[in-house]
Amino acid sequence: MPADRTEHTIAAISTPPGSGGIGIIRISGAQALAILHRLFRPHDRRCRFRSHQLYYGHIVQPGANRIVDEVLAVYMQAPRTYTREDVVEIHCHGSYLLLSRILELILAAGVRLADPGEFTKRAFLNGRIDLTRAEAVIDILAAKTRKGIDQGQAQLAGALYQRIEGIRQGLMQMKAFIEVAIDFPEEDAEIVDLGGLQQILQQQVAAPLQALIASADQGRILRDGISVVIAGVPNVGKSSLLNALLQEERALVTAIPGTTRDFIEEYLDIEGIPVRIIDTAGIRDHAEEVEELGIKRAKVLLQQADLVLFMVDGSRDLSEADLRLYCLVAAKPLIVVINKSDLCQNGVRDFAAQGITGPAVWISARHQSGIEELKRAIFAAVAGGRDQWQEDGCAPNLRHRQALLRAEAACHRIAESLAAGSSCDLVAVDIQECLEQLGEIVGLTTADDILDVIFTQFCLGK
């Protein structure tokens, strides 16, 4: 963000579009209080706008002396604000037309409309929060499960920052020893304690880095969720399974093969994991044109899926179409879902003997039996055998993971240099590289273009 833009007073509507009981407009910058004085007529004309106190009154159109709305207004004096600038919030009735009208009056007074995420970006640039906490705001707003919110709240409270800072402190300690040796090269053999440096590297840098990288997949799953595709030939009960999982009649269910022509998707909370569950068209040969388009989309979704629920009819033997579809998905992580257990009068079939391998769950989608067992199987497939997931201090996004991997590579080079007795200058270069990669995560060394990408993910008004 150019320096002159950071000096502008900005404003935006901070509540979602639509009707509601209350709507909020936020103003931040040096002119925030002056704008409030210009547009707000307090009920008590003697009020002096004490910081962090709500005042009742009206927004009045300048010049026309016409009341626009009955509101509550609050002035928050810097630096005890979200952006560490003067901030004003106007709480009015939640009509979006009314909010837009008040915002127009504010902008007409010389205020600039805030860019997406600009309030949070100013909080970061003004030193109130680090970059991991700023990204946590996005995660909280986008969370689809309670565990996702818990992870975002932990990150907002500084859990990830503290883990990164602990590693940085170990590196800074190593850097201090190495720089002394560089300043006194004739005595470096006596100054540098190789054993001590290797111990700091392993215990305070390498091991915590590896633990963060190991938790990255978990953080990503809790943040972004997983894609689970229900696949099967027509009429095995895919839509019935979707309805049973969601506990609502989301998909049409008929006895006619090919009812589902396109895919249907919904989100489901399974043990805190946001699961994007997708019901696809039944895959078969010789389908008519519209159904064939649905089948092509189903095949694309199968290739993109994190997990496939390969569904078969347990009341009959496998068909050639079942086996061809299984060959299509066998390389993917999958659970074999054997439906229509209520129709198996002559005992259960051994589908494993026919080449269908993998964890299997018997269900009756019609009678909703076995659904909880299936949910547990989905969680087990995603969690990799973990009963408890660590929510505090995970590295939940791809940017974090990539920086951690680069830091780990630098850490390996440091270890190799120390083991080989390389020059202190070479070790110092890799220590600095490791520090910079970790600094990129928390925003100490992050390039402006990366910051722009991060903050444009925010909605307006945040």
- What are the structural domains, with CATH classification, of the chain? 3-130 (3.30.1360.120), 137-222+397-442 (1.20.120.430), 229-383 (3.40.50.300)
pLDDT band at 325 (very low <50, low <70, confident <90, very high): confident
Q: Does residue 75 sit in helix, strand or coil?
A: strand
pLDDT in tens, 83-102: 999 999 999 999 999 999 99
**pLDDT at residue 119 greater than cutoff 90:** yes
**pLDDT at residue 111 greater than cutoff 50:** yes
What burial class does residue 333 get, using C-beta atoms within 10 Å of its C-beta: 0-12 exposed, 13-18 middle, 19+ buried? middle
Greatest mean pLDDT among 4-13, 118-127, 289-298 lies in: 118-127
Give the pair of three-digit tokens for residue 148: 């996702």
Q: How far apart are CA 38 and CA 378, in angstroms?
A: 58
Q: How far apart are CA 372 and CA 378, in angstroms?
A: 10
> Of 287 and 41, which is predicted with more confidence?
41
pLDDT band at 252 (very low <50, low <70, confident <90, very high): very low
pLDDT band at 238 (very low <50, low <70, confident <90, very high): confident
- Report the range of poorest mean pLDDT among 123-137, 248-262, 312-326: 248-262
Please report which helix (H) or strand (E) contains residue 360, including its range: strand 360-362
pLDDT band at 312 (very low <50, low <70, confident <90, very high): confident
Strand 20-28 relative to strand 334-339: parallel, antiparallel, unpaired? unpaired
Q: Does residue 52 sit in helix, strand or coil?
A: coil
Task: Give the other-Cβ count within 10 Å of 242's Cβ.
Answer: 26
pLDDT of residue 234: 82
pTM tops 0.75, yes or no: yes
Share of the chain above pLDDT 70, in %: 87
Using alpha carbons, select from 224, 227, 222 the residue that is nearest to residue 150.
222
Interaxial angle between packed helices 398-420 and 207-224, expressed in degrees from 0 to 180 and rounded to the nearest 10: 170
What mean pLDDT comes out for the span 125-150? Answer: 90
pLDDT of residue 257: 44
**pLDDT at residue 283 greater than cutoff 80:** no
What dihedral angle (degrees, nearest 10) is formed by the CA atoms of 81, 82, 87, 93?
A: -120
pLDDT band at 4 (very low <50, low <70, confident <90, very high): low
Residue-averaged pLDDT of the chain: 85
Using alpha carbons, select from 344, 392, 395, 388 the residue that is nearest to residue 366.
344
> Of 346 and 109, which is predicted with more confidence?
109
pLDDT in tens, 370-427: 999 999 999 888 876 555 555 566 877 888 999 999 999 999 999 999 888 888 888 9
pLDDT band at 145 (very low <50, low <70, confident <90, very high): confident
Please report which helix (H) or strand (E) contains residue 264, including its range: strand 264-270
pLDDT of residue 184: 67
**pLDDT at residue 255 greater than cutoff 80:** no
pLDDT of residue 221: 84
Share of the chain above pLDDT 90, in %: 41
Q: Which residue has the tokens 């993971």?
A: 401
pLDDT in tens, 182-205: 776 655 445 567 788 899 999 999
pLDDT of residue 387: 54
pLDDT of residue 50: 93
- Report the range of poorest mean pLDDT among 69-78, 105-114, 309-318, 432-441: 309-318
pLDDT of residue 453: 84
pLDDT band at 259 (very low <50, low <70, confident <90, very high): very low
Residue 183 CA, distance from chain mean position: 45
pLDDT of residue 258: 45
pLDDT of residue 260: 45
In one letter, which amino acid is 62?
A: P
pLDDT band at 251 (very low <50, low <70, confident <90, very high): very low
pLDDT band at 3 (very low <50, low <70, confident <90, very high): very low
